[in-house]
Amino acid sequence: MGLTKQYLRYAASAVFGVIGSQKANITYVTLRGGEKGRYVAVAACEQVFIWDVRKGEKVLILQGQKHEVTFLCPSPDGIHIAVGYEDGAVRIFSLMNGETNVSFNGHKSAVTVIQYDGLGARLVTGSKDTDVIVWDIINECGLYRLRGHKDVITQALFLRDKNLLVTSSKDSFVKWWDLDTQHCFKTMVGHRSEVWSMALLNQEKRLLTGSADSELRAWDISYLQEEKAEGEPKVKKGKTLLDDDDDEDNEEGGDENLEERILSCKKAGSILREARDRVVSLTTDRKARVIACHGNDSVLELFTVLSEEEVQKKMTKKLKKAKKKAAKAQEEAAEEAAEPVVERMLKDEIIRLTNIKASAKIRWADCLSCAGGELKVALLLQNNTVETYSLKTSGKTPTANKTSRLTIGGHRTDVRTLAFSSDNLAILSASGDTVKVWNRSTLQVIRTMSCDYALCSLFVPGDRQIILGTKSGKLQIFELASGSLLETVEAHNGALWSLCLAPDQRGIVTGSADKTVKFWEFELIKDQGTGQKRLTVKHTRTLQLEEDVLCVKFSPDHRLLAVSLLDCTVKIFYTDTLKFFLSLYGHKLPVLCLDISHDNTLIATGSADRNVKIWGLDFGDCHRSMFAHDDSVMFLQFVPKTHLFFTAGKDKKIKQWDADKFEHIQTLEGHHREVWCLAISPNGDHIVSSSHDKSLRLWERTREPIILEEEREMEREAEFEESMAKGDVPVVPGETQGEAAPAGKKTVETVKAAERIMEALELYKEENRKMEEHKYACEHAGKELPPPKPNPILVAFGNVSPSRYVLDVIRKVRSSELEVSLLVLPFPYVPELLRLFNSYIQQGLEVELVCRCLFFLLKIHFGQISSNQMLLSVIDELRMNTLSKVHEIRDVMGFNSAALQFLQREIQSKEDVMFFADATGRLEEKKKKRRKRERAILTIA
């Protein structure tokens, strides 16, 4: 067998150039030892960046996998942050170290909202798949899935003191859910269009909703349980809160009066926004005292919610004014007037605070109330910028001051051209308004310069200057040392699409939409202002063509010039005489990119027809046409000194090809939008690419070889796993497809976990069979024979027993995937598993985990288990053992808990110290109360 050609793998190295992705929201977070309102979390494609807004630095990066981040929500204690992804997964990261231990997978599509409950023990997630799922964070498992909405979920809020949930959706409904019974007891239909967001105010006694018009609708919530509890002492506490008579009425009336048993929701009025378009986001601070909302423009509107005392003061003033007015009118009319009545309006409770005008359109906003009545506002703008503002809410006319602006780390618009310096150390990126030069190793911006809309660029030999070709047809020359624009040359009358450095490095060639190709030479001229010599370009020749020029390229030996035209052909000319040499035709749409190999033998062309063609440069014969991308091929470049080349497409992928064997080598996936361009470093070790997702990505050549057969096999496996995860949802026996359903979903991980459990049970059965055979052989021989060799897997796990190995396998299944893994498990394995569970409980091994698995299996296989006579004794033993063991564990925990509480009280009384950081406020309150009591006693004495 001959030697195969070896390819080296390119791997993702870094993501930079993105400050905040538009898909996910912005939120304030608190880091250990950090002050309040200093750090903000934003999504950066599949990662989450924590920015220090004061220093303008990234302080923490939460690494994602391959799907885009779609929502962020910090936990109430500020230690964790929940991150939702495009594929429906939710991962919880620690803000201490940036690691994740908990992940949930229940949604089929992008997560659109995440909220914690007041204690931070439960999490609710809403998605584009119209489902709402409630998760238990402590147990790391899904509690239930709530179905009822018909469109994307836009908001979900827990009510703190009641086990209720309120959700809104683009289907124009707001639904109230009773989490005790997992059903919707009230649907609000007062909106004519999508409900985009909502907030709870006034100790959760008012609901504010934002829709597709300029109104913010307010709804008064009255909890009828509380009213009945106050008026009728006989009423039981619970979710129905009815007497026996009421229950009878309810049975007759069905579910009609169900909402009346819990709460009633009536429209209280509406607040008019200044913006006329839909609400894009609506948020409040932690105490729900300040409301911030905005539309698709650059204005953030702030409202303040007055407390009951403030409202009463305001109403008293109003009444006084009304009385004065009435008295005046009475004097003029000389007759008695009725006592004036002042009606309490919604605008008396929610008043406009101020407006904040951002520098661009706002995408998301978050606000945070700090000490001294200061309000901090963070805005994520649509042009890849984060701005923060601060204002005093207590002032009569509060005005917002801009405190920081994060712009340096990225471009405002898409990067359309990239270039590497000759020493591989600097990267040039240019967009619609700026050109930046980055240090490749640190990914820090070295220079930022304003420019016109750039379409192509290059470093001038020596790497001291750069040249840009712009959409207006100009050539702009910048000096890197000073960061100044040296000269603007009016080069063409149309867009300057392509720019190529001559192989002798003495000039450049430009191709434009004005149907000309122009040749330029570098010159040094004396600057009139400084007297120093500076670089310029001198026009030498022009090649006139019949069609718009899209791309130009010199052959490395400077003999030929390839020009791609709008008529879908590539024409090749001799460089010295500009005589026509060859025409390459075959593409169905225009050729957008092309490159010539280092040895002048091959030319590769990439077209908008999604194909890449490889041609011989001697006779213009097409060696091979390959279907390369699922959309237009935007960029193509050979790796220096090889016949390997990279292509980038609008299908979000970058692919590597072999031009000799016409084989696809590898695909670099990472970008989430169209890839506009890429650049390969002169040594071929690095690639940088830019995309419509605002990110720049660096790829590095590793020492790991690629074996093509393995690569294709991995691709097929990935496709199969993806299709398997999208397969049918496993049906739970006895579960009706109603409003509530199981939270988990079938994934590749759950299937693999079920397979591991099955393999462990097979191994356990095999080892048991071996032991039985050994016992029989010993009895037959009448002497003790050497025991059979244990399974190598058991030896590898430290010579554990087969039953203990099964428990270890079950314990290693992720908590959030355990139920679905057991659901996938075929019934023939269940009886053996139940017998094992019995032995585990008797030994006191992982009682909580075993009980959880046992109850789930009993629930889903109840019919088959109860009809199996062989399992009758096993179930009976399980019943007795489980009850006694659980009671025993509960007693131990109760005893330990009481002992710890006793110790805590002892230490607190001795040292006047209170445990836990969050209890410091309560300690101060207790001290104040004690002092008051002491003063009162002294006064009485």
- Are 476 and 577 found together in one domain? no
Residue 513 has pLDDT above 60, yes or no: yes
pLDDT given for residue 225 in this prediction: 62
4 or 630, greater pLDDT? 630
254 pLDDT higher than 70: no
Judged by average pLDDT, the poorest of 176-185, 239-248, 638-647 is 239-248
346 class by beta-carbon count within 10 Å (0-12 exposed, 13-18 middle, 19+ buried): middle
pLDDT category at 502 given cuts 50, 70, 90 is very high
Query: Is there a single domain that holds both residue 605 and residue 689?
Result: yes
The verdict on 573 and 585 lying in the same domain is yes
pLDDT band at 614 (very low <50, low <70, confident <90, very high): very high
| pLDDT higher than 80, residue 733 | no
Q: How far apart are CA 286 and CA 281, in angstroms?
A: 16
The answer to whether 134 and 92 have CB atoms below 8 angstroms apart is no
pLDDT bucket at 27, cuts 50 / 70 / 90? very high
Higher pLDDT, 813 or 933: 813
- pLDDT, mean of residues 754-769: 84
Confidence of residue 867 (pLDDT cuts 50, 70, 90): confident
Write the CA distances from 549 to 448, 516, 552, 866, integer angstroms: 30, 7, 8, 79
pLDDT at site 233: 42
pLDDT of residue 92: 93
> Are residues 751 and 787 located together in one domain of the fold?
yes
Q: Exposed (0-12), middle (13-18) or buried (19+): which is 73, by Cβ within 10 Å?
A: buried
Give per-residue pLDDT as tens, 642-669. Answer: 999 999 999 999 999 999 989 999 999 8
SS3 329: helix
Rounded to an integer, what distance in angstroms lies between the CA atom of residue 719 and that of residue 724?
9
**Residue where a domain stops, chosen among 375, 407, 439:** 407
632 belongs to a structural domain: yes
End position of a domain, from candidates 507, 527, 544: 544
Residues 428 and 399 in one domain: no
Point out the domain boundary residue: 492, 512, 544. Answer: 544
Least confident residue range of 82-91, 232-241, 256-265, 639-648: 232-241
**pLDDT at residue 460 in the model:** 92
- Integer Cα distance of 135 and 142 in angstroms: 4
pLDDT at 238 over 60: no
The verdict on 649 and 779 lying in the same domain is no
Write the pLDDT tens digit of every residue in 337-347: 556 666 677 77
Structure tokens at 310: 């403030």
pLDDT higher than threshold 80 for residue 742: no
Which contiguous run of DSSP H or E holds residue 285? none
- Give the number of other Cβ atoms within 10 Å of residue 589's Cβ: 14
Mean pLDDT of the chain: 84
Six token digits for residue 674: 């169209």
Q: Report the range out of 6-10, 727-731, 762-766 with the highest average pLDDT.
A: 6-10
| Res 870: pLDDT | 80
Whether 241 is in a domain gets the answer no
Instruction: Quickly count helices (H) and strands (E) in the chain.
Output: 14, 57
In the predicted structure, residue 242 carries a pLDDT above the cut 70 = no
Report which of residues 766 and 299 the model is more confident about: 299
Report the pLDDT value the prediction gives residue 325, as an integer from 0 to 100: 78
What phi and psi values does residue 75 have, to the nearest 5 degrees?
-75, 160
Q: Are residues 693 and 636 in the same domain?
A: yes
pLDDT over threshold 50, residue 251: no
Whole-number pLDDT of residue 917: 46
Range in 168-172, 460-464, 915-919 with the lowest mean pLDDT:
915-919
Residues 777 and 841 occupy one common structural domain: no
Question: Cα angle at 353 between 350 and 359, to 5 degrees?
Answer: 135
pLDDT in tens, 912-923: 655 554 455 566
The residue to which tokens 């990267």 are assigned:
427
What pLDDT sits at residue 793?
81
pLDDT, average across residues 674-683: 92
Which of 74, 85, 9 is CA-nearest to residue 36? 74
Cα separation, 23 vs 547, whole angstroms: 40
Neighbours of 575 (CB within 10 A): 19
Domain enclosing residue 469, as ranges: 412-544
Lowest-confidence segment of 61-65, 348-352, 559-563, 689-693 by average pLDDT: 348-352
What pTM value is reported for the model? Answer: 0.81
Can you tell me which residue has the tokens 């019949």? 546
Structure tokens at 766: 């095999």
Q: What is the C-alpha to C-alpha distance for residues 725 and 715, in angstroms, rounded to an integer? A: 16
* Cα distance between residue 393 and residue 562, in whole Å: 65
> Which residues partner with 197 through β-bridges?
210
Q: Pull the structure tokens for residue 369.
A: 């109330």
In this structure, of 213-217, 543-547, 575-579, 722-726, the range with the lowest mean pLDDT score is 722-726
Tell which wins on pLDDT, 831 or 678: 678
Which residue reads 């010295």 in tokens?
576
Residue 158 lies in a domain: no
Among the residue ranges 253-257, 459-463, 715-719, 824-828, the one predicted with the least confidence is 253-257
Amino acid at 831: P
Amino acid identity of residue 22, one-letter, is Q
Does 176 map to a domain? no
Residues 433, 399 share a domain: no
Cβ 58 vs Cβ 10: under 8 Å:
no
What was the pLDDT predicted at 126? 93
Q: Which of 558, 656, 568 lies closest to 605, judged by CA?
A: 568
CA atoms within 13 A on the CB side of 719: 6
Q: Once rounded to an integer, what is the mean pLDDT over residues 722-751?
A: 64
* CATH code for the domain in which residue 493 is found: 2.130.10.10
In a domain, 685, yes or no: yes
**Is a pLDDT exceeding 90 seen at residue 85?**
yes
Stretch 49-74: mean pLDDT, rounded? 90
Number of domains in the chain: 6
Q: Which residue has the tokens 């439960």?
A: 122
The whole-angstrom separation of Cα 223 and Cα 794 is 59
**Separation between Cα atoms, residue 756 and residue 763, nearest integer Å:** 10
- CA 37 to CA 390: how far, in whole Å? 10
**Range from 273-287, 600-614, 751-765, 904-918 that averages highest in pLDDT:** 600-614
Among 377, 221, 200, 216, smallest CA distance to 289 is for 200
Tell me: do 477 and 572 sit in the same domain: no
- Give whole-number Cα distances, 758 to 733, 809, 827, in Å: 21, 10, 11
CA distance 638 to 651: 20
- How far is 931 from 933, CA to CA, in rounded Å? 5
User: Is the pLDDT at 142 greater than 70, yes or no?
Assistant: yes
The whole-number pLDDT of residue 235 equals 34
Q: Is residue 29 pLDDT above 70, yes or no?
A: yes
Please report the pLDDT score of residue 717 as a whole number: 81
Please determine, for residue 607, whether its predicted confidence score (pLDDT) is greater than 80.
Answer: yes
Question: How would you class 922 by CB atoms within 10 Å of its CB: exposed for 0-12, middle for 13-18, buried for 19 or more?
Answer: exposed
Could you tell me if residue 686 is inside a domain? Answer: yes
Q: Which amino acid is at 440?
A: R
- Going by C-beta distance under 8 Å and a sequence separation of 6 or more, which residues neighbour residue 685? 424, 700, 701
Asked whether residue 235 is domain-assigned, the answer is no
| pLDDT value at 939 more than 80 | no
Cβ atoms of residues 376 and 28 within 8 Å: yes
Structure tokens at 23: 């898909």
pLDDT computed for residue 914 by the predictor = 56
Mean pLDDT of 827-854: 84
**What are the structure tokens assigned to 423, written together?**
């020493």
Range scoring the smallest mean pLDDT among 384-398, 404-418, 469-483, 683-697: 384-398
Residues 651 and 757 in one domain: no
Residue 116 or residue 724, greater confidence? 116
Cα 187 to its chain centre, rounded Å, is: 29
Q: Are residues 552 and 531 in the same domain?
A: no
**pLDDT confidence of residue 250:** 37
Q: Return the pLDDT at 240.
A: 33
| Mean pLDDT to the nearest integer, 303-317 | 80
Give ∠ CA 617-564-574 in degrees, rounded to 5. Answer: 50
In a domain, 727, yes or no: no
Region 705-715: what's the mean pLDDT?
85
Contact 553, 560 (CB under 8 A): no
Environment class of residue 246 by beta-carbon count within 10 Å: exposed (0-12), middle (13-18) or buried (19+)?
middle
Query: In this structure, what token pair is assigned to residue 875?
Result: 């179930």
Provide the β-strand partners of residue 135. 123, 142
pLDDT category, 753, cuts 50, 70, 90? confident
Among 552, 618, 637, 632, smallest CA distance to 587 is for 632
